[in-house]
Structure 1
């Protein structure tokens, strides 16, 4: 199985540790799919020409992700600031709004499409500004899209007609609301819909057939990136054997491993104190 991801990338800056970790949904899925057994993964995104960008590039290279079509631009790389709340859970407390990538939209070229066609699935996210490219992209490859918890009727109507896989965060939804959401997504053309619900596990629908998967226990250090790991694990295993229940179980296991490291996949780096200011 080969996976390519396009779009968002950041470093997650852990204020209490004075340390940064590479992250961002699209980037995480590319790396974590490789960890999950994908034969080959690639990442296309816009990264700043700063020290933060250097660390992101270094992390991708060390995780054997193809970065041949990455763009480096003059400006700041994306930064998200992370802290601990009173319960010890990590929360996002600020960001630079994606840095330079928020100012420069990715313009896919013929060379990009030549690379994309070598892969089995393309993953992107609500933070990647590729919505207007999906209609063209679906002619070349299966599409996976993470909405996070930012979905409404308008964005679903725009995106779902072009997707094979839709992933959504729905801890705030009841089971009835999730099933209604599945119906809407399927009616718009997406056959596979997955709603992650934190400690309550996952609900999934394939053309109306419902599946459920509980969490796998872990020695939790940091839950950041667990959802991205679930996506990567599911896509990797399902596109290898087309067994939904097995893929869900494997994805839950991969998510549990991510909870046992800081950052989405480690690779932390101590940073200058000036980066700690929002």
Structure 2
């Protein structure tokens, strides 16, 4: 079956200070682009970009990757930017941002035509950085929803989001095994069917309605880990949502994440930062 994927919400440029380059990024945008690369028949993106050079680079990248941006918003102001540096171990870490640029202070509002357009897809993905929580109860009735919580959640936030999503993803490198199990159990209890916790070098723990699965990392030469988690999510969704084979989906997701670690940026397109 040909899959139609839509991602809604956050986009940024990741500014690599050590290289003086910007790369397109943001969880929702990354999943849209990577989902298309992983054989989505259609991959669409709705979000808000600014009107600066960074925004133009993001827009042109989406066009080059054959992403449907027919409902993309553009506003006057700076595009979202995250500042990335190297820590003592050589890993990339986020050290600052412009707080999301235009999309943060405008907020995405969906009209009836947007909602009908979204419903024409098979699966929707969004994230904690997308400020779309208020739309989830209505969208949930129209389309299965995937949601990335990253490293930021509280129990009250889980209660607000989890009843309306099919897939919940968490970054849990700092969690113990027991804490991962407790989180998975809590998210299931709120109505989410598939829960995944990625744990960096420790691999991932996923649960399908209470049945646990473990996935080890795929060994590779690491150039840049940024975007590896989004690659994992995109490939997992493309495989699992169509075939419902958890073990195969996790294996392919692990391979995809390893490949992303082999180049700079979530999916490339680095250009010199100007200004």
| Aligned mate of 2:245, from 222, 243, 246 | 243
Q: Is the 8 A contact 1:80 1:95 kept in 2?
A: yes
How far the C-alpha of 1:240 sits from its partner, in A, is 2.2
How far the C-alpha of 1:201 sits from its partner, in A, is 0.2
Q: Is the 8 A contact 1:36 1:254 kept in 2?
A: no
**Aligned partners of 2:85 and 2:185: how far apart in 1?**
37
How far the C-alpha of 1:178 sits from its partner, in A, is 1.1
Total equivalences in the alignment = 273
Secondary structure at the counterpart of residue 103 of structure 1: helix
**Aligned partners of 1:2 and 1:259: how far apart in 2?**
26
Map 1:146-225; keep pairs closer than 5 Å: 146-225=148-227
Normalising by structure 1, what TM-score?
Answer: 0.97
**Aligned partners of 1:80 and 1:173: how far apart in 2?**
24
**Aligned partners of 1:174 and 1:250: how far apart in 2?**
25
Structure 2: which 5+ residue stretches go unaligned? Answer: none
1:222-253 superposed Cα distances (whole Å, 9 cap, x missing partner):
00000000000000011221101100001111
**Aligned partners of 1:133 and 1:259: how far apart in 2?**
33
RMSD across aligned positions (CA): 0.8
2:54 is matched with 52
| Aligned mate of 1:256, from 251, 255, 258 | 258
**Aligned partners of 1:83 and 1:183: how far apart in 2?**
35
| Aligned mate of 2:236, from 234, 238, 241 | 234
How far the C-alpha of 1:93 sits from its partner, in A, is 1.2
**Aligned partners of 1:37 and 1:254: how far apart in 2?**
13
Secondary structure at the counterpart of residue 218 of structure 1: coil
Map 1:60-79; keep pairs closer than 5 Å: 60-79=62-81
How far the C-alpha of 1:181 sits from its partner, in A, is 1.0
**Aligned partners of 2:85 and 2:181: how far apart in 1?**
34
Normalising by structure 2, what TM-score?
Answer: 0.98
**Aligned partners of 2:68 and 2:116: how far apart in 1?**
14
How far the C-alpha of 1:114 sits from its partner, in A, is 2.0
